[in-house]
């Protein structure tokens, strides 16, 4: 690559950076009431790359961030949530993720594949709206299916009732979104099957956004489909953050890093343009 440090990009050296004290002060301001002491803040700003990147983003020294190549996803998420936090209007402080799979069959999105262990109906509705917004950035019209072991009322288990309630919430808060549930995965992907079960569904054609009732079902499906279809995984895309921040996984390829970096750059550009438009 024909790029040079200090010209095309900047480097932060945790051992010797003039902004170190400012970063420590900002971290104490943001996390001092969340159990981060002054001494801990000094150590984190010296040793934790995710904390450093998030502080750089918060201060305006960066426009977007990618992290997560080493360590546990939960630790990176905790630091991003602590420093960046959710954007205005997002109620779920744990945020959520969206994964995109690209294969010969086409493109499909799945949520939430990495964060929400057992989301409530309200959280599922919110993550569906956030995922639909992200999908529209790709120039794709979202078609969401809320998945369950129940197919349009065939079961009344707590999980099925949760997804049914989420569908009702979405019909109220996002009436323009093509979305329905609760339904089986095959009903989501086949309009013919769906019509046989419930011909009055709000969802038309094949769903391209699969919304899962919990983290187990979402993550298992993601990894199984990715392997079976030899699909390219783009993500996880962190949804609902106040600033462009994404947490990769240690298994990500170099191509995956490039893809997520490009995604973060586009997100930052959209955010900057939105600020200009408001001004």
- The owner of tokens 């905790």 is 78
pLDDT at 4: 83
CA distance 121 to 98: 17
pLDDT at 57: 94
Do the Cβ atoms of 203 and 179 come closer than 8 Å? yes
> What is the set of domains in the chain, with CATH numbers?
10-85+242-279 (3.40.50.10950), 91-240 (3.40.50.10750)
pLDDT at 151: 96
Do the Cβ atoms of 101 and 233 come closer than 8 Å? yes
CA distance 19 to 25: 10
Do the Cβ atoms of 179 and 194 come closer than 8 Å? no
Contacts of 217 (CB under 8 A, 6+ apart): 147
pLDDT at 131: 96
Structure tokens at 135: 């999908």
pLDDT at 13: 82
pLDDT at 11: 82
Structure tokens at 104: 């010969």
pLDDT at 92: 61
pLDDT digit string (tens) for the chain, length 279 residues: 677 877 877 888 888 888 899 999 999 999 988 989 999 999 999 999 999 999 999 999 999 999 999 999 999 999 999 999 998 888 766 789 999 999 999 999 999 999 999 999 999 999 999 999 999 999 999 999 999 999 999 999 999 999 999 999 999 999 999 999 999 999 999 999 999 999 999 999 999 999 999 999 999 999 999 999 999 999 899 999 999 999 999 888 888 899 999 999 999 998 888 777 776
């Amino acid at each position: 690559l024909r790029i040079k440090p200090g010209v095309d990009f900047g480097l932060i050296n945790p051992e010797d950076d003039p902004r170190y004290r400012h970063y420590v002060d900002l971290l104490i301001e943001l996390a001092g009431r969340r159990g981060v002491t002054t001494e801990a803040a000094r150590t984190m700003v010296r040793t934790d790359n995710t904390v450093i990147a998030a502080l750089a983003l918060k201060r305006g020294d960066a426009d977007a961030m990618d992290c997560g190549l080493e360590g546990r996803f939960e630790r990176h998420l905790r630091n991003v949530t602590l420093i960046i936090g959710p954007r205005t209007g997002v109620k779920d402080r744990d945020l959520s993720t969206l994964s995109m799979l690209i294969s010969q069959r086409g493109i499909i999105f799945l949520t939430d594949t990495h964060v929400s262990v057992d989301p409530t109906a309200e959280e599922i509705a919110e993550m569906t709206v956030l995922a639909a917004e992200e999908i529209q950035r790709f120039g794709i019209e979202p078609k969401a299916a809320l998945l369950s072991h129940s197919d349009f009322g065939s079961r009344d288990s707590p999980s099925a009732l949760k997804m049914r309630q989420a569908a009702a919430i979405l019909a109220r808060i996002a009436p323009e979104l093509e979305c329905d549930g609760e339904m089986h995965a095959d009903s989501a992907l086949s309009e013919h099957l769906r019509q046989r079960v419930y011909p009055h569904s709000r969802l038309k054609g094949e769903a391209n956004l699969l919304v899962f009732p919990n983290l187990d079902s979402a993550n298992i499906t993601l990894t199984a489909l990715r392997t079976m279809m030899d699909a390219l995984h783009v993500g996880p895309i962190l949804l609902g953050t106040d600033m462009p921040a994404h947490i990769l996984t240690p298994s990500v390829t170099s191509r995956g890093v490039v893809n997520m970096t490009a995604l973060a750059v586009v997100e930052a550009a959209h955010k900057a343009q939105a600020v200009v438009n408001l001004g």
